[in-house]
């Protein structure tokens, strides 16, 4: 399935322009005041790097992981165009195989935006948080598609219960499963206790 996903995203990212929007995802902007401005960030399913580059602009050293070489190439291009090439490191990786072994042991911020990692990988992400580190998740909400046909594949959808299960050992600062303009986005923000 990951190979099909890689091909799909390689195709989607083929235009030179950013296809996922120019700025960082709305969940990050909404929590801007809580995000660290120094230290290390891990952005998984980083796509074209809008979030990673924005975080680097704010002072973080960012590791951006994605399955799509084209997306990551755009992320590097974006970082370099803003003079941030040294602060954004890209990792081509199929997350179905887990996180790259050579990542840093701990991060001040872990973001997973517009991608549901599943509970197991989600917990592995949370386990990378340094004490006091922040976790930001945004994914498609299963609640929005309940009882409706023609929606996304169920493996891309999640529930507040599963998102909370990922963050079970964290302090949950907020969670909404009917967010976004169409009420179809779930987000969760949580902090690892000091």
Ligand X SMILES: C[S@@+](CC[C@H](N)C(=O)[O-])C[C@H]1O[C@@H](n2cnc3c(N)ncnc32)[C@H](O)[C@@H]1O
Rounded to a whole number of angstroms, the minimum distance from the CB of residue 177 to ligand X is: 17
Instruction: Indicate whether 99 belongs to the interface with ligand X (CB under 6 A).
Output: no
Instruction: Indicate whether 47 belongs to the interface with ligand X (CB under 6 A).
Output: yes
Instruction: Indicate whether 54 belongs to the interface with ligand X (CB under 6 A).
Output: no
Contact range with ligand X by CB under 6 A, out of 28-36, 45-53, 143-151, 169-177: 45-53
Rounded to a whole number of angstroms, the minimum distance from the CB of residue 68 to ligand X is: 4
DSSP string spanning the chain?
-HHHHHHHHHHHT-SSS-SS-SS--HHHHHTGGGS-SSSEEEEES-TTSHHHHHHHHTT-EEEEEES-HHHHHHHHHHHHHTT-TTTEEEEE--GGG-S-TTS-S-EEEEEEES---HHHHHHHHHTTEEEEEEEEEEEEEHHHHTT-SS---GGGEE-HHHHHHHTTTSEEEEEEEEESTTS-EEEEEEE---
Nearer to ligand X (CB atom), residue 107 or residue 115? 115
Instruction: Indicate whether 25 belongs to the interface with ligand X (CB under 6 A).
Output: yes
Instruction: Indicate whether 9 belongs to the interface with ligand X (CB under 6 A).
Output: yes
Nearer to ligand X (CB atom), residue 96 or residue 146? 96
Contact range with ligand X by CB under 6 A, out of 90-98, 119-127, 141-149, 173-181: 90-98
Instruction: Indicate whether 90 belongs to the interface with ligand X (CB under 6 A).
Output: no
26: number of Cβ within 10 Å: 16
Q: Using CB under 6 A as the criterion, which residues of the chain lie in contact with ligand X when the complex forms?
A: 2, 5, 9, 20, 25, 45-47, 50, 66-68, 71, 94-96, 113-115
């Amino acid at each position: 399935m990951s190979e099909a996903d890689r091909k799909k995203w390689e195709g989607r990212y083929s235009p030179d322009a950013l296809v996922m929007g120019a700025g960082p995802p709305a969940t990050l902007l909404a929590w801007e005041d809580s995000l660290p401005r120094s230290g290390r960030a891990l952005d998984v399913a980083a796509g074209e790097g809008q979030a990673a580059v924005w975080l680097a602009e704010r002072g973080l050293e960012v590791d951006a992981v994605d399955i799509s070489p084209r997306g990551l190439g755009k992320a590097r291009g974006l970082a370099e165009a803003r003079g941030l090439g040294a602060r954004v490191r890209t990792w081509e990786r199929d997350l179905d195989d887990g996180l790259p072994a050579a990542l840093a042991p701990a991060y001040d911020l872990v973001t997973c935006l517009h991608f549901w990692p599943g509970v197991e990988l989600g917990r592995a992400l949370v386990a990378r948080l340094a004490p006091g580190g922040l976790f930001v998740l945004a994914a498609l909400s299963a609640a929005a598609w309940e009882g409706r046909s023609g929606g996304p594949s169920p493996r891309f959808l999640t529930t507040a219960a599963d998102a909370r299960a990922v963050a079970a050992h964290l302090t949950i600062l907020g969670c909404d499963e009917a967010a976004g303009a169409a009420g179809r986005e779930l987000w969760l923000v949580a902090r690892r206790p000091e």
